[in-house]
Amino acid sequence: MKSLILLLACLLPLGAAPQTHAVSGTVTIEESGNPLAFCSIHVKNTDRHTKTDDKGCYRIQAAATDTLCFAMLGYDTVKVAVGKRTRIDVALHAMSVVFEEEDLVVPAYMTRMAGIVTTGRPAEFSGEEYAGYEENRFRSALHEPLSTFALEADGASYANCRRILASGRAPETDAVRIEEFLNYFDYDYPEPAEEAPLSLLVEAGPCPWDAAHRLARIGLKAREVTGTELPPTHFVYLIDVSGSMHQPLPLVKASMKMLTDNLRAEDRVSIVTYADEVQVLARNIPGNERRRIKDLIDELEANGATAGGAGLEKAYEIARKYHIGKGNNRIILCSDGDFNVGPSSDEAMKALIERQRKLSGTQLSVIGYGMGNYKDSRMQLMAEHGDGNYAYVDDLREAAKVLFGEFGATAWAAARDVKMQVEFNPATVASYRLIGYESRLLEAGDFNDDRKDAGEIGAGHCVTALYELIPAGAEEHPAGSVDALRYQGRQGTPVVTIPSAEALAVKVRYKLPGEERSRMIRAELIDSGTEELTGDFAFAAAVAMYGQLLRLSDFRGTATWDEVIRLAQQGLANDPEGYRREFIDLARVAQAVCGDDYCLQPGESKAAGE
């Protein structure tokens, strides 16, 4: 017997790992007691890690001799020895940052990015570029009854403007795309029926910045897709490692590791980097070889110029070579958009991407990083023409939202080439104005043209469109109207309206992944005259008001920061991740940074002495 025991002991490996047991618990915010979603928990000196869910709960395997590290950007890290405990609850303390000029204290998570300057003089932003556009005006329902545009669920503009505000500076007006503010958030829209990819909701209420107007909300919800439902995916990680990415590269690495944690054995990953030159670091690695993929990501270093065009060409080449038939083939570009070697103009990028997309059948999703020389206009253009989504990541929590919590939406399109067309009834609506979507407008004839590219909606995403309506019979002149002619009568055939109580009718066209013929859903709205905004509708109106204040909209009317906060507070019942509470904090920061001058109506000025 002793010989057998000795033999077994010799067969055991030296330094065998200690036995582990399950440890679970919750992570909360010390100041409020609220759960902290997407907090990172890792076992010190190992590669075992996890994240909290939307209720702040976690579960991980650890040994009695291990130490758990609880980390979230903007909070003090907590380290706890495990011992024999099976439950460990922790509360993280939010650090504070002071804007000296405004004497304003905000949580450090509002800075959103390691290394950002949050005291003293604001960081330099002179190298950033944003596409200019003219804000949508009111249109006559009689003479222009159709409003047509492409839908998308991107939230990049909201996260980017949050980063700018957190530095103590007001964003440029062209940095504010209100549709991306609205679509950053989830709403309690109905789930799609049975196997349908989209649901459609239409409602109306009072316009909070103009009491004489009405506000119409159109909401779509894409069907959730679980990991088991996703087809095999080939991801090409296309990572900018040029010198301008030196500061954000650690955040890029952490982001791509989060994405890697979602991969399955049937998925594949290739890795392409570019700086002065383009390098292919990996080809078609199985998704369950996560450690191998992460080791390659860890080795990345930033240096040199930015051959972005050549990087894109190589990424599409790799995507074609390892294309998965009837699968999900997607390039994930991580960059600040500052291309300076080879083809680099917006037109060159547009032509390159459209050509390669047709050749490869591969979608391009764009994730922006960095500050100071960030090229938002180019990043937006590449995502639009690459048939993919566009996000901006300013800290680990945003990375967790985009690449971990919303993995299905980021990685898989529930519907492609999604277009909306709204017809307004001139008997009930004099004029209308689409809030946002200026860069996504289409001609009326594009709606039924399946050859016309439009937007992508990821699995589980919500999309919201708001219209400000001037009711028929209002004393103000409808948009585009002219006085009766003095020397001639009315020309042309008089318009004949069909009697209806409806204010508007909505049609949405979309294609299922892999199909080239569109399908359509529709809904109509009869305005019941609701006199108060509540819940999700109130919150969406608050977000639109906030965006209109930030971009100094000509139509901001009586909007104020205080009214933004009041309306947003009515929507806090639906806030599992805490993003709406964060929005209220951000509105207070905007109020301090931008001041009450932003609340004045166009042409109005403060009275002397105020």
d(CA 233, CA 263): 9
pLDDT band per the 50, 70, 90 thresholds, residue 111: very low
The answer on pLDDT for 10 being more than 70 is no
Instruction: Please tell me the least confidently modeled range out of 109-113, 205-209, 416-420.
Output: 109-113
pLDDT band (50, 70, 90) for residue 104: very low
Helix, coil or strand: residue 601: coil
Residue 340 pLDDT > 80, yes or no?
no
pLDDT, mean of residues 318-339: 93
In this chain, the answer to whether the domains covering 19-92 and 233-407 adopt an identical fold is: no
Mean predicted confidence (pLDDT) in 520-531:
95
On whether the pTM is more than 0.85, the answer is: no
Least confident of 93-102, 169-178, 465-474: 93-102
Cα angle 168, 172, 176 (rounded to 5 degrees) comes to 105
CB 240 within 8 A of CB 335: yes
Please provide the distance, in angstroms rounded to a whole number, between the alpha carbons at the two ends of the chain.
Answer: 95
Instruction: Name the least confident of 76-80, 140-144, 447-451.
Output: 76-80
Q: Tell me if the domain spanning 19-92 has CATH number 3.40.50.1970.
A: no
463 within 8 A of 183, measured Cβ to Cβ: yes
The predicted structure's pLDDT at residue 85: 94
Q: What is the pLDDT of residue 425?
A: 95
Of 252, 394, 266, the closest CA to residue 332 belongs to 252
Whole-number pLDDT of residue 141: 94
- Under 8 Å between Cβ of 528 and 205: no
Looking at the predicted structure, is the pLDDT value of residue 97 above 60?
A: no
Can you give the pLDDT at residue 597?
A: 83
pLDDT of residue 47: 64
Give CA separation, 539 vs 105, 256, 487, 510, 545, in Å. 25, 32, 51, 27, 10
The pLDDT value given to residue 424: 97
| Strand ranges inside 425-543, DSSP E | 429-435, 455-458, 462-471, 504-511, 519-525
Residues 396-430: pLDDT tens digits?
A: 889 888 887 777 777 788 899 999 999 999 999 99
pLDDT digits (tens, 9 = 90+) for 483-501: 777 776 655 555 666 788 9
Per-residue pLDDT tens digits for 352-397: 898 988 888 899 999 999 988 899 999 999 999 998 899 999 888 8
Residue ranges of domains in the chain: 19-92, 141-152+166-224+415-475+500-579, 233-407
- pLDDT, position 13: 44
The mean pLDDT of the chain is 86
Average pLDDT over residues 259-280: 94
The DSSP symbol for 579 reads: H
Whole-angstrom distance, CA of residue 215 vs CA of residue 381: 30
pLDDT digits (tens, 9 = 90+) for 14-55: 445 579 999 999 999 888 888 887 787 888 877 687 878 878
pLDDT tens digits, 438-447: 999 999 999 9
Average pLDDT over residues 313-331: 94
For residue 396, the model assigns a pLDDT of: 85
Looking at the chain, the whole-number percentage of residues with pLDDT higher than 90 is 59
Can you give the pLDDT at residue 39? 80
Element (H, E) at 42: strand 40-43
Look up residue 4 and give its two tokens. Answer: 């057998």
Within 44-140, strands assigned E span 49-51, 57-63, 67-71, 78-81, 90-92, 96-99, 104-107, 139-140
**Amino acid residing at 89:** D
Among 216-230, 239-253, 552-566, whose mean pLDDT is lowest? 216-230
Please give the C-alpha separations between residue 488 and each of 142, 482, 492, 495, in angstroms, as whole numbers: 21, 14, 12, 18
230 against 391, higher pLDDT = 391
Fold classified for 233-407: Rossmann fold (3.40.50)
Q: What residues are paired with 504 via a beta bridge?
A: 424, 525
Give the pLDDT band of residue 110 (cuts 50, 70, 90): very low
Mean pLDDT lowest among 22-26, 340-344, 375-379, 541-545 = 340-344
Compute CA 442 distance to the chain's CA centroid, rounded to the nearest angstrom.
22
> According to the model, what pLDDT value does residue 489 have?
63
Say yes or no to pLDDT of 130 above 80. yes
CA–CA distance, 459 with 235 (Å, rounded to integer): 17
Q: How far apart, in whole angstroms, are the C-alpha atoms of residue 217 and residue 466?
A: 5
Angstrom distance (rounded) from CA 454 to CA 149: 8
* Region 464-469 average pLDDT: 98
Output the pLDDT for position 126: 62
- Token readout for 478 is 């409808």
Q: Report the top-level CATH class of 141-152+166-224+415-475+500-579.
A: mainly beta
Residue 16 confidence (pLDDT): 52
